[in-house]
Amino acid sequence: MTTTIGLEAWEARRAAWITPNEDYKANAEQLKVNAEKCKSLVEQEGQRIAIYKHLVLQRETFRTPIPLQHVIPILVTGWQEDGLWPKGMNVQEKSD
């Protein structure tokens, strides 16, 4: 028998990440509204760079949460500006 402690730990951690908590469920409608606002903010490259500088370089936070689906393009754009990510290389939409 092989031990799969690492795999079991990873699967447990992933389950915790993708399971919404009760606070999230209670505020789902407001979060959808905020997500739409965030979506419009990150559509332009200039906006993504400004947000990246605000969050990463200046280490400031937003008053409301940003959905992860919007944070990833912000980070990639910022990394491309900083020369840490090759320009033209894209993130896969879904990587499960």
For tokens 């936070």, name the residue. Answer: 61
Identify the pLDDT of residue 93.
67
Domain ranges of the chain: 5-82
Whether the model clears a pTM of 0.85, i.e. scores above it, the answer is: no
- Expressed in angstroms, the distance from the first to the final Cα of the chain is 27
Identify the pLDDT of residue 33.
82
d(CA 44, CA 92): 19
pLDDT digits (tens), the chain, 96 positions = 566 788 899 999 999 988 878 877 778 788 788 778 888 878 889 999 999 999 999 999 888 777 888 888 899 999 999 998 888 777 666 655
